Structure 1
Amino acid sequence: MDLRIQGPGPTTPFLSARDLFETEHELSLPVYVQFRDDPDERTWAGHYDDRHVLNMSRQAASSAMARELVLHELAHMARHEQEHPSHIQSTEEVLYLALAGKRVERRKLSHCYQIANHMKDIYADDITLAVGPGQKLLSFLESSLAMALADRPDPPSRPGLERLSASADPDITAVNAAFALALAERHDLVDDDHRLYDLAHVAAMDAPHVDFAGFKQRFRELARDPDASLYRQLLVDATRAYVGGEGLAAE
């Protein structure tokens, strides 16, 4: 892999992630690493005709999760080069098919994009977890869900889950919990008594009209190698399950 780190910043997590990734996969295009000064800058990958670009804050690159974050983004790059349906399907097209004729709240629409991103992440992490250990990712999922539960508006009184602010939406938190648990189960990362189950149960209780069990099953059982038509239908169905509605996607 042609890895080009631009500017001052830690290099070890990138080289370590590359070595793990290359045990089973390779990329045809070079990867340019660009460091961002904003500590809140999310880690994300851009894809171009002649290169991939991995954007990452210097703080994230120095964190305990740095190698795992880099490996995850390399997996997205691999899926993009494979032209995997999850990474080339237009989300806007799916939303048009799924929501035509419906009035949808702005927050719900943004949640639909997050659901599409979860499905992309499932397929990227099928690569990530095939080449690297999953315990750090599991801890990250657990802590992220715990923080979201603490951050949700007007939570019930539960020890250790006091509200910090009122910004976390219970509906998408329940979907996020379903994603976290589905990913963990898909790769056998959790025992039956893992704390993630307790956190997910709380999230599901806070959003009783969200089909938590259904979303967990959707994410966990995503077809390993779907064709474009099947993947589009899976995403349409997931969108309709969240906002309401049924039927087949148009071809």
Structure 2
Amino acid sequence: MDLRVTGSAPPSPFLSARDLFETEYDLSLPVRVRIREDPDERTWTSHPGEYHVLNISRQAATSAMARELALHEFAHMHRNERGHPSHTQSTDEALFLALSGRSVERHKLAHCYQIANHMKDIYADDITLTLGPADKLVSFLESGLAAALADRPAPSRAGFERISPAADPEITVVNAAFALALVERHGLVGEDHRLYDLAHAAVRDAPGVGFEAFKRRFRDLRNDPDESEYRKALVDATRTYATATDAQAAD
């Protein structure tokens, strides 16, 4: 793999990730790692044509998760090169099919894109989880969900107290479903793991979203769907979320 790192971060985590990735997989196109100064910059991959680009904040690139984040993005690149439907299906097209004729608030549309990203991440992590211990990933999922539950505002009305943050409790449920789907898909934790307690706390705040249904959707994604099957799964997931959150808002 031709790998080049540009920006103010040491290249060692990316070189280590490359060496581990190449024990089982390879990439045909070169990889350019671009370190961003914005600490809020989300780690993401683009495919401009003749090479892949891994964009990552300097904060993430110098964190304890740097190697694991790089492995995850290499897996996305591998799925893209192999033409896996999860990475070739246009998200815009699927969301248009799912939400046609429906008025959707901007923040809920962003949630639908996040659901699409979760489905891509399932297939990327099917690769990364063959490459080594999953302890860091499980801790990462746990800390992310705990952080989403940490900001507890005052009760909004008598007898009702939010368990998850006032902002976007519905997508917190979906994020919890994704985390548990991933660990159950690969048998990473037992039923007494703290992730389950965190997920139950999130569900109490938005019970109408359908946590168990979303967990099954993510967990049971078939390894090698064809384009039509994957498009249907993505359309159904986003349409279900839009319908469920509309009903929750009405309640």
* Same fold flag (TM > 0.5): yes
Cα offset, 1:39, TM superposition? 2.0
Counterpart position of 1:207: 206
Unaligned runs of 5+ in 1: 246-251
Q: What's 1:169 paired with?
A: 168
Distance 2:144 2:168 in 1: 14
Which amino acid is 1:143 matched to? S
Q: Does 1:21 align with 2:21?
A: yes
- RMSD (Å) for aligned C-alpha atoms: 1.8
Matching residue of 2:71: 71
Q: Distance in 2 between matches of 1:229 and 1:107?
A: 27
Aligned counterpart, 1:220: 219
SS at match of 1:5: strand
- Written as runs of structure 1 = structure 2, the 5 A alignment for 1:16-165 is 16-151=16-151, 153-154=153-154
TM-score calculated relative to the size of structure 2: 0.91
Offset at residue 7 of structure 1 (A): 3.7
Q: Which residue pairs with 1:248 in the alignment?
A: none
Q: Give the counterpart letter for 1:110 in structure 2.
A: A
**Deviation of the 1:153 alpha carbon:** 4.8
The CA deviation at 1:157 is 6.6
Deviation at 1:124, TM superposition (A): 0.5
The answer as to 2:183 corresponding to 1:184 is yes
Structure 1: distance between partners of 2:110 and 2:57: 24
Alpha-carbon distance in 2 for matches of 1:5, 1:104: 40
Percent identical among aligned pairs is 69
Please state how far the C-alpha of 1:122 moved relative to its aligned partner. 0.4
Contact 2:46 2:52 in 1 (8 A): yes
**Does structure 2 retain, via aligned residues, the 8 Å contact 1:152–1:170?**
no
The count of corresponding residues between Structure 1 and Structure 2 is 240
- Distance in 2, Cα, partners of 1:152 & 1:83: 43
Distance 1:114 1:48 in 2: 22
- 2:201 partner letter: V
Q: Matches of 1:143 and 1:239 in 2, distance apart?
A: 26
**Alpha carbons 1:10, 1:58 under 8 Å: kept:** no
- Distance verdict in 2 for CA 1:209–1:7, change over 3 Å: closer
Deviation at 1:244, TM superposition (A): 2.0
